Amino acid sequence: MSWHPQYRSSKFRHVFGKPASKENCYDSVPITHSVQDNHFCAVNPYFIAVVTECSCGGAFFVIPLHQTGKLDPHYPKVCGHKGNVLDIKWNPFNDFEIASCSEDTTIKVWDIPKQLLTKNLTACKKELIGHTRRVGLVEWHPTAANILFSSGYDYKVMVWNLDTKESVIMNPVRTIGCHQGVILSMSFNTNGSLLATTCKDRKIRILDPRAGAVLQEANCTGHRANKVLFLGDLNKLLSTGTSRWNNRQLAVWDQDNLSVPLSEVDLDGSSGVLFPFYDVDTNMLYVVGKGDGNIRYYEVSADKPHLSYLTEYRSLTPQKGIGIMPKRGLDVTSCEIFRFYKLITTKGLIEPISMIVPRRSESYQEDIYPPTAGAQPSLTAQEWLRGMNKGPVLVSLRPCSELLSPQPLLPERPPSEPTTPFNQKEKLVVEDGQKPFSRVEEKVPRQAAERRLEEKKTRLTNGFDIECPPPKTENELLQMFYRQQEEIRRLRELLTQREVQAKQLELEVKNSRMNSERF
């Protein structure tokens, strides 16, 4: 009997990596040569930040995303640290705020001016002082505003509340001191109620970040974990590390029982650290090796074997670090589901790599873009510290779409009633303590939608909506362009349908005439 492999049906089987052309890369960037096993790069829809070499102290660049090509040798830096910068992270709810940590034992929070940098930025918005040794990692809370976590070489994890008027904060709201070695990685679950860490004492821990209590602990004797990651809502963890034979390895763990891994996958015998990235919307796992040019990707499932290998993006140029674009910054018109920013130290180059799902249709692909986490917090800092948990506020990636709200539609506003900005309405809903948004998009009644459309038409002046002024930024202009393209496609489809109906009608009339002449 011949053996036949079992193939899984998957819409992501043919995902491929597409590197950007030379003119769309960032060239002549003096990337740091630090040996720290961090990403050294942070990206959002407006900026790319990358740690750089500096003659005195530590610094990093903040480059506008559209400013590709060769970087000016005198390009201004963010350089307020006295030691090398070890990690940087953008605030997920503010695209103009970034946190950095350094060998000088401090964490600094910076406000990036909207008119971009014209000179070196040395004055930070807030400075956090509490660690006694260098700080290796910073992480923002995924759903609560103004909550920042840091871990240092003093074996401590500190929780900071930035919602204060003080510019220098010296007392964290919580210090977690259960680790017996340097913390290698930190990861939150979806609503930020749990924190997973890996440590040099070869243990994986799941912590309650508010109480600082250890809920689960794994002794990794056969699998030496380096990085750890929550796998969305699957109630599982993924760790990357090495086996007892020094092969690079992936391990999947049950979140409620860390006594033994559910599955282990050996990769190769290289020595570079593996950086895992999980896309909760597509259940895809990307594994990037430091020092090699490959990106492996898998599909994750709740059932065994948990990890199903899809394929691999291969490159001859090794990566020093990697940055990822949030889902809200992707190009949905080209079916892009993930984007990496690869740091190539040997060439001083930052190369964007887009992961593309090949589709023939040019319309918006609803099945590969489910509602995703947006740029609005679902909790305030005080609410989270008091014990509240909420999932992320979800948005649709469809161009010019609104936030998803499960609340019933409000009655139509009388013409005399003053208008309320959309973001203020959203804020009121969140502050009332109600669940702000859902994963299921509300179906709007057809008559109400048509009535809205008619009202909107009456508000148009000179081609623009009175309540929505003309686009002022490149991002707004892009959104307007996508909306126009979508409308053009819809009209073309409607025109094609009308032409087909007209031809069918003409054919029926012709056939009826021939039948009448025959009899």
What's phi and psi for 202, nearest 5 deg?
Answer: 65, 35
pLDDT given at position 15: 93
Q: Between vectors from CA 376 to CA 87 and to CA 116, what angle results, nearest 5°? A: 55
User: Per-residue pLDDT tens for 15-74?
Assistant: 999 999 999 999 999 999 988 899 999 999 999 999 998 877 889 999 999 999 999 999
Q: Which of 265-274, 459-468, 492-501, 505-514 has the highest mean pLDDT?
A: 265-274
**pLDDT tens figures, 99-117:** 999 999 999 999 999 878 8
Residue pLDDT, tens place only, 369-395: 999 999 999 999 999 999 999 999 999
pLDDT recorded at residue 416: 36
Task: Report residue 466's pLDDT band, with 50, 70 and 90 as the boundaries.
Answer: very low
Q: How confident is the model at residue 218 (pLDDT cuts 50, 70, 90)?
A: confident
Which band of pLDDT confidence, cut at 50, 70 and 90, is reported for residue 442? very low
Structure tokens that stand for 112 in this block: 């990036």
* Residue 433 pLDDT greater than 50, yes or no: no
pLDDT of residue 407: 37
Neighbours of 338 (CB within 10 A): 23
How far is the C-alpha of 379 from the C-alpha of 324, rounded, in Å? 24
Q: What is the pTM of this model?
A: 0.76
251's tokens: 């391990």
- pLDDT for 305: 87
What DSSP character marks residue 164? S
Q: For the stretch 140-152, what's the b/e string if a residue is b when 16 or more beta carbons lie within 10 angstroms of its beta carbon?
A: bbbbbbbbbbbbb
- Kindly report, residue by residue over 475-486, the tens digit of the pLDDT: 666 667 777 777
Task: Provide the Cα torsion 402, 408, 410, 412; round to 10°.
Answer: 90
Asked if residues 197 and 185 have their Cβ atoms less than 8 Å apart, the reply is yes
What pLDDT was estimated at residue 472? 52
The answer on pLDDT for 151 being more than 80 is: yes
d(CA 494, CA 499): 9
Residue 426 has a pLDDT of 38
Mean per-residue pLDDT over the chain, rounded = 83
- Distance, in Å, from the CA atom of 99 to the CA atom of 112, rounded to the nearest integer, reads 11
pLDDT in tens, 234-280: 999 999 999 888 899 999 999 999 988 999 999 988 888 999 999 99
